[in-house]
Structure 1
Amino acid sequence: MNLRTLKKLSKRAAPMLPLLGDERKQFPAEKWDNYSSSFIAAHKHWERSTCHPTYEGRNGWTTPRGKEILWTTKDGRSMYMRPPSHPRKGTVMVGAVTGYYEPEWDEETAWCALETCVRHHFCDWDEDGPTPTRTFSRPGDLLDAAQEIIAERAAAQLARDQRRTQPAQAPEPDNG
């Protein structure tokens, strides 16, 4: 995935989130102001900067692919590349203030929020932890699963509404 794809997927995910019960505020990302937790593997989108010659790269991700890349330029300057932590300007974000004693602003892209919601829905939880009941090999699978969840909830709501509006029937007397 790259930043452009993340922006497009967030735009598709945004209208589904309220239907899935996510009532956080939705807003467009501003350049260099918001943070994303999505791992962007395409090196062309990685952030580049100079560093001290003794700097050793670190990895803030759970995958070895997220390790910083260090190199020296032709003129002898030390540089590093790391995965981006900011989404593109205009990417749909969701956020809310969380916490009780020390409230903090918490935000993520709409795509990350949808992915979390869908993956949690399709997990069985036991004493060993979560066990996925369905795999998602591509983004379209997640979007399809989200539509299924929305359809299930709409059908359940319709059934509840029909039960409320039907008059209660008196039991038939037993003539036996």
Structure 2
Amino acid sequence: MPLLQQLGEDREIFAARPWDNYTHLLITDRKHWERGPCHPSHEPFNRFGAECARGMKFLTREGRWVVVNPPHHPRKGTPMVGCTSGYYEPEWEEETAWEALDTIVRDHFTDWDKMEEDDLPFGGALSRDLSTPSLIFAAANDMIAERKVA
């Protein structure tokens, strides 16, 4: 959050509440995945009684089948930024602080003149290596240092 504020983030900053906010991140640490029953009557996307179509299915010690899925909601207390956007029909838009920082840094280090039509977003047009979170934090610190000098 301090990095975002120093980079000029002006949207509302708040902590995520359980089941109330959404994220576009894929949380791969399975200890945070959501558990649910795996039975055709409980899975609306699984109308024909086949195996669960998403997540990982496993048998518990008690002999029940359970499916675990990556969560669509950030964990309680995750720093979030959001604002209302739109004119005729304004809507609330939000993202995690990490998503906001990642976007600001990637936008700053994207060489838009070298980007071609076939490039994926932020593909080969980056002017700096941003392949790990530590490199993104270092780039954000460099951006802040540049602003202080200028």
Distance in 1, matches of 2:89 and 2:64, equals: 42
Gaps of 5+ in 1: 1-13, 59-67, 157-176
Q: How far does residue 100 in structure 1 lie from its aligned partner after superposition?
A: 2.1
Instruction: Please state whether the residue corresponding to 1:132 is helix, strand or coil.
Output: coil
Tell me the equivalent position of 1:47. Answer: 34
Tell me the equivalent position of 1:136. Answer: 130
Kindly provide the amino acid, as one letter, of the partner of residue 144 in structure 1: A
Q: Percent identity?
A: 50
1:115 aligns with 2:88: no
Q: Which runs of 4+ in 1 moved over 6 A?
A: none
Q: How far does residue 79 in structure 1 lie from its aligned partner after superposition?
A: 2.6
Tell me the equivalent position of 1:92. Answer: 79
Tell me if structure 2 keeps the 8 A contact 1:57–1:70: no
TM-score, length-normalised on structure 2? 0.77
Distance in 2, matches of 1:44 and 1:77, equals: 19
Tell me the equivalent position of 1:28. Answer: 15
TM-score, length-normalised on structure 1? 0.67
1:152 aligns with 2:139: no
1:57 aligns with 2:60: no
Instruction: Please state whether the residue corresponding to 1:123 is helix, strand or coil.
Output: coil
- How many residue pairs match? The answer is 134
Distance in 2, matches of 1:86 and 1:99, equals: 23
Larger radius of gyration: 1
